[in-house]
Amino acid sequence: MPSELLHPVLEFAVGEAKAASKSATAAAGLDRVPPTLEPFFRFRKLPSRAMSVVYDVIETDEAFRTWLAPRVIEARHGRVGVLFVQRPDRWREDLERLIGAWDEPALDIAADAKRLQRRLDVAERARERAETENAQLRLELDKLTGELSSAAARLDAIDSTRDDTSERLEALESERRRAVQELKATEQILARHLDEKRGLQAQLDAMTAAQLGSTTIGPDLDDATVRSLASSIGAALNAAAAEVEELRHRATPTRQKAPQRRPLPLPPGLLDDSDEVADYLLGVPGMRLLVDGYNVTKTVHDHLQLSDQRQWLNDGLRALCARRQSTSATIVWDGVDVGAVPGGGGPVDERFTAEGREADDELIDLVGRIERTTPVCVVSSDKRVRDGAMAGGANVLHSRQLISAMG
């Protein structure tokens, strides 16, 4: 039998055996790869001496031939290859007939066809690689476009905050100058009233001494006159005190209400409950996550012990913060610290609420206690927690969005 007729199917058999040795999926239905084929796995094109070895394997290893048979197709491996491997009824007679009709020109045509097919295969693989690379470049371009939009949004937010701060500083400086002027005026008024008070007090002391020095007041200064004069002095002192208090109140600078935290603006086109929003917020520099512990863990691991739930969330957040190096997280758990996860500190810390206090209240209070310039995102699917966090100016994520981001 001319060996050239079997070259396509013999090379195909080695390629399939090599794939089966590397992948359980490719080897489905095959108990073992014939060991005598393994030395030829490193060849891209089988040498002539390998043909007879592969031929003998197919001829003698019935299990391997049976596994290989459905994979052989006439369009690629020739009718001779199909008959040799699949062995339908009367296959030997058909094989001998094909061999008898074989001649050298046909062999040349087959060789040319094989060469052309190899060139076509190479071109096809190159096209597939180019399409894959093009798709990857498109994905990278989309990612960079999204990051650029996110950066632009963050820059706009920073510019807006800077403008608000400048305006507040100017207002405070103007208020300070006004307060200084009014304070100086108040000091002058206080000095004048103090002089008046001293004069009145001297008169009162003189009248009191005169009254104490004699048993009678005298014809020009009787008791009624003294009482009237004392009443006038008291009224004058009260009026001076009221005027001083009014001036002090006017000189005290009006304290402006501390600016409230505002949620970070999201890039246009993103839905609040999408994974893309979670990816954007987790990428904000300095982001502080406040996590409703059991609300997250019970979403996917309600069947686990509470200590195992805490360990799972702690590990997941540490891995997330390691990838997002500017992100830190605080997990709030209901109840006392029983069976707490060891190894705290770093970018992830845990808090257990006191007896009688819910994690919901602790999370909402934490939003107000964190520095206003620190971006804050609260993770919970509880409506009360989300409403309280948004009222405090924090961004919010659902528990499933964080779970998706942790991977």
What pLDDT is recorded for position 230? 61
pLDDT for 253 beyond 60: no
Mean pLDDT over all residues of the chain?
A: 83
- Classify residue 113: in a domain, yes or no: no
Local structure of 362: helix, strand or coil: helix
Structure tokens at 187: 């000091």
Closest listed residue to residue 251, CA positions, set 172, 193, 180, 169 = 180
CA distance 181 to 123: 86
What pLDDT is recorded for position 340? 47
Structure tokens at 312: 């799972």
What pLDDT is recorded for position 403? 96
Q: Does residue 36 sit in the same domain as residue 73?
A: yes
Average pLDDT over every residue of 115-119? 89
Final residue before a domain boundary, out of 57, 75, 102: 102
Residue 345 and residue 361 in contact, taking contact as beta carbons nearer than 8 Å: no
Q: Fill in the DSSP letter of residue 350.
A: E
> With bands split at pLDDT 50, 70 and 90, how would you rate the model's confidence at 183?
low
- Classify residue 260: in a domain, yes or no: no
| Helix, strand, coil percentages in the chain from 3-state DSSP, rounded to 5 | 65, 5, 25
Out of 31-35, 233-237, 350-354, 378-382, least confident range: 233-237
Q: Does residue 203 sit in the same domain as residue 288?
A: no
Final residue before a domain boundary, out of 87, 102, 117: 102
The strand pairing partners of 292, in sequence order, are 332
Q: Does residue 247 sit in the same domain as residue 282?
A: no
Fill in the amino acid letter for 10.
L
- Classify residue 33: in a domain, yes or no: yes
Structure tokens at 31: 């108990």
pLDDT for 319 beyond 80: yes
- Classify residue 131: in a domain, yes or no: no
Q: Does residue 97 sit in the same domain as residue 9?
A: yes
- Over the stretch 330-388, which tens digit does the pLDDT of each residue have? 999 998 665 444 445 689 999 999 988 999 999 999 999 999 999 999 999 999 999 99
Residue 115 and residue 8 in contact, taking contact as beta carbons nearer than 8 Å: no
Q: Does residue 292 sit in the same domain as residue 360?
A: yes
- Classify residue 15: in a domain, yes or no: yes
- Classify residue 181: in a domain, yes or no: yes
Question: For position 282, which CATH number holds?
Answer: 3.40.50
Structure tokens at 228: 């009237």
Phi then psi for residue 348, to 5 deg, are: -125, 125
Fill in the amino acid letter for 404.
S
Q: Fill in the DSSP letter of residue 131.
A: H
What pLDDT is recorded for position 100? 74
Q: Does residue 280 sit in the same domain as residue 391?
A: yes
- Classify residue 331: in a domain, yes or no: yes
CA distance 253 to 395: 34
What are the CA-CA distances from residue 104 to residues 49, 107, 108, 174 (Å)?
22, 5, 6, 104
> With bands split at pLDDT 50, 70 and 90, how would you rate the model's confidence at 192?
confident
Q: Does residue 280 sit in the same domain as residue 381?
A: yes
What pLDDT is recorded for position 355? 87
Q: Fill in the DSSP letter of residue 313.
A: H
What pLDDT is recorded for position 341? 47
How many angstroms from the chain centroid is the CA of residue 299?
18
Residue 267 and residue 280 in contact, taking contact as beta carbons nearer than 8 Å: yes
pLDDT for 182 beyond 50: yes
Structure tokens at 65: 């031939």
Cβ neighbours of residue 132 closer than 8 Å, sequence gap 6 or more: none
Structure tokens at 235: 């009224």
Residue 389 and residue 370 in contact, taking contact as beta carbons nearer than 8 Å: no
Residue 193 and residue 238 in contact, taking contact as beta carbons nearer than 8 Å: no
Out of 26-35, 209-218, 305-314, 379-388, least confident range: 209-218
Structure tokens at 78: 């020739």
Q: 367-376: string of b/e by CB count within 10 Å (b at 16+)?
A: beebeeeebb
Closest listed residue to residue 267, CA positions, set 95, 149, 364 = 149
CA distance 331 to 100: 81
Q: Does residue 279 sit in the same domain as residue 401?
A: yes
pLDDT for 326 beyond 50: yes
Q: Does residue 246 sit in the same domain as residue 287?
A: no
Q: Does residue 318 sit in the same domain as residue 361?
A: yes
pLDDT for 204 beyond 50: yes
Q: Does residue 329 sit in the same domain as residue 246?
A: no
In this prediction, what percent of the chain has a pLDDT beyond 70? 80
The strand pairing partners of 349, in sequence order, are 330
> With bands split at pLDDT 50, 70 and 90, how would you rate the model's confidence at 146?
confident
Final residue before a domain boundary, out of 192, 218, 251: 251
Tell me which of 237 and 156 has the higher pLDDT: 156
Q: Fill in the DSSP letter of residue 72.
A: -
Q: How many structural domains are present in the chain?
A: 3
- Classify residue 142: in a domain, yes or no: no
Q: Does residue 7 sit in the same domain as residue 39?
A: yes
Residue 332 and residue 362 in contact, taking contact as beta carbons nearer than 8 Å: yes
Residue 187: which domain range? 163-251
What pLDDT is recorded for position 2? 44
